[in-house]
Structure 1
């Protein structure tokens, strides 16, 4: 029988970087005591809880909630059910070799690790102006970690991010208080990128309040950095807030204003920032049911895309392939059957970041010419990415099926993937 995923308390311990043995040493208890806590068969004594909360870097009320959820964990579904329901892009760490304590060998569900790390992330944000003491590298020395964090976000490696972000944010907060003016601006620029990575975790996992807070902090950090291209990137991300509250007019105004203030369009970075803002504005216009405005924004974005290769600029993927995905997204928003049909014959390149590919186009690719798909149809994946559930995707595909007397195989496969009728 497959092992159960770790309990919420065990996931919090994993997120804080402890093994059962090392946590037991820190708290001066037996390892088996930690195991009983994590299995929910015993709770820490009142005098043990402050030390446990401190080790896990969470507040006492958050620890109480963890312990309650751990006690209920015995009623959770088996790991097979957890695997089936895990969001796309969240990998599950496979079981360790069969040595040592059984509970140390249980697979860690990445989604549990991420949720367990959220309190630590909130704590790091609470103390941005009063960071904990600790070793502090220079902004230049932190570049490698920032690049890895940005890449983890773009490739949807949210578990890696959740583990490392709190400490990285705290170190950048310390770095921002040291050095000369140039160093502080540099640290603010790096902090902007790390906060964006944190927003990727918060938004994808449904912590919309935390996402809104991170975006506000990103704006403040970008202003301290005095980098107009970072401010443009923040305006791009800020659209999430307006999508969440349905304020599309303000979203459009913010994106257009940011595009008007992008300087130096003769550089690739500036052109990419300008184009990304317009392709985002096109989606906003599409969602608002304004095809003419959407067309205008796509035209500006195409002009910018001809000047830059596909790549990541200030944390935002932009180029011909990214634009193509947004063109399809606009077609979905506008319920444009011809635009949706184009989705059946175009696939994003494998080199495109996973976060960019995932919203709409994670669907089966055509088999090689010598393969023999059953009944001439492509296999429908078991996974259920967000794009499949988009009501306008299904409505548009249903319209295509009704209006095409002889729909193509590609259209039939796309409709089967989306479960359109």
Structure 2
């Protein structure tokens, strides 16, 4: 072949994939995708249905993108196939994904028809999965959490989640053995939580809440109290960020009840307590906050693997920064600064470090120290611009009103204007 497949590459980019994330979606190496796009090799026949689904095209249209058929009007050879309005394309992809969520949620809620369980146990084709295939899907779903953790722009992972949910939805349309169906419900709850995290990071709280609700429903169907508790805790985070502390407390009480019924070797109940501590801090209850922090610290006495690295990742390594956040909210600046300084000595993700630095900037506000505010807030601005994270932008947006008493300082005025530009650009 030898000719570059520009249309194929443009379509990949229009669907939100990098070469690396597209490779993960279609289960090949990124170097293979690069060779496809350079025209050195063509995708094998058995891979094409998955490639077409990931790109949102038919097999015929995929052939056109690969330069193997006359280009129809929809994909002229000399015209890029990306939609002319990228914002509109983003909305269309979002609506399509939400429709997929609704379909998957409905399939999870529908019990098998009479007789299906017996038939499913005997079916070996036509959509029924065996244990090995179900495990393969589960391993890939767990891999997506690692991809999410490494991605600087979390939205790049969403197309992979969509592809995996489509696989699960196809499987749920068919009769499955009870153990396989339970595993599918567990995987759906896992993926819905990951989708919620991606939307949460992008400041799309309504979409995130929808995902967490579906994750809770799927967890219930799977009979997994720890998974269910984590879905409710993530949902509570939305209320926490919106400063609806009473609403958050209600969700967290339910999460704590579920966690008490789960695996005592896991850190679920300790994570719930850590988030409860932030809620009590928001309510101004120092004693309840301290008790919750002490409960959260109990994770350090657990033995063995205390989390799965996916929907549950709490191991106590964040306790210092969580204490600092709570003490800032409670106005205990002496305790807060000590805890936050301790947090900075550890290994932090980019987003977590931004949270610590924002809290330190807030301490500077309380102390009327413009230099401290500038030092820490400017570092957070850099992170927000580099990552496009809605979570980091939200932290700066919450900091901004507190800058008012310091606006006589020209550097604070400049900082205020830069935060305003960032927030308005993110909202657009």
Distance 2:90 2:297 in 1: 37
- Report 1:26-175 matches (<5 A): 28-29=72-73, 31-35=76-80, 38=82, 67=84, 69=85, 117-128=93-104, 129=106, 138-156=133-151, 158-175=154-171
CA RMSD of aligned residues (A): 4.4
Cα displacement (A) at 1:394? 8.9
The match for 2:205 is 208
Gap change, CA 1:26 and 1:189, over 3 Å in 2: farther
The match for 2:188 is 191
The match for 1:275 is 270
Equivalent residue in structure 2 for 1:182, among 179, 182, 197: 179
Contact (CA 8 Å) 1:188, 1:224: kept in 2 or not? yes
What secondary structure, in the 3-state scheme, does the structure 2 residue paired with 1:318 have?
coil
Q: Deviations over 1:79-130 (max 9, x none)?
A: xxxxxxxxxxxxxxxxxxxxxxxxxxxxxxxxx9977743442232132246
Distance 1:334 1:20 in 2: 61
Unaligned runs of 5+ in 1: 1-7, 39-65, 74-111, 365-376, 400-415
Distance 1:181 1:389 in 2: 48
- Is 1:306 the counterpart of 2:292? The answer is no
- Report 1:372-391 matches (<5 A): 381=379, 382-384=382-384, 385-386=392-393, 389=396, 391=398
Gap change, CA 1:274 and 1:22, over 3 Å in 2: same
Distance 2:129 2:350 in 1: 32
What secondary structure, in the 3-state scheme, does the structure 2 residue paired with 1:201 have?
helix
- Report 1:200-349 matches (<5 A): 200-243=197-240, 246-263=243-260, 267-269=264-266, 272-307=267-302, 312=308, 315-342=311-338, 343-347=340-344, 349=346
Cα displacement (A) at 1:305? 3.1
Contact (CA 8 Å) 2:343, 2:356: kept in 1 or not? no
Contact (CA 8 Å) 1:172, 1:191: kept in 2 or not? yes
Distance 1:221 1:265 in 2: 16
- Is 1:22 the counterpart of 2:65? The answer is yes
Gap change, CA 1:148 and 1:183, over 3 Å in 2: same
TM-score normalised by structure 1 residue count? 0.61
The match for 1:87 is none
Contact (CA 8 Å) 2:226, 2:258: kept in 1 or not? no
Contact (CA 8 Å) 1:310, 1:320: kept in 2 or not? no
Contact (CA 8 Å) 1:275, 1:305: kept in 2 or not? no
Contact (CA 8 Å) 1:191, 1:221: kept in 2 or not? yes
Aligned residues: 314
Distance 1:259 1:127 in 2: 30
Distance 2:128 2:76 in 1: 30
Contact (CA 8 Å) 1:332, 1:393: kept in 2 or not? no
Distance 2:227 2:337 in 1: 36
Distance 1:274 1:161 in 2: 28
Q: Which segment drifts farther, 310-319 or 328-337?
A: 310-319
Cα displacement (A) at 1:347? 1.6
What secondary structure, in the 3-state scheme, does the structure 1 residue paired with 2:186 have?
helix
Gap change, CA 1:266 and 1:200, over 3 Å in 2: closer
Cα displacement (A) at 1:361? 4.6
Gap change, CA 1:13 and 1:282, over 3 Å in 2: closer
Cα displacement (A) at 1:243? 2.9
Contact (CA 8 Å) 1:335, 1:395: kept in 2 or not? no
Contact (CA 8 Å) 2:358, 2:399: kept in 1 or not? no
Gap change, CA 1:149 and 1:361, over 3 Å in 2: farther
Q: Which segment drifts farther, 213-222 or 249-258?
A: 249-258
Higher helix share: 2
Q: Deviations over 1:324-370 (max 9, x none)?
A: 221122123223211332223532633x5555555335899xxxxxx
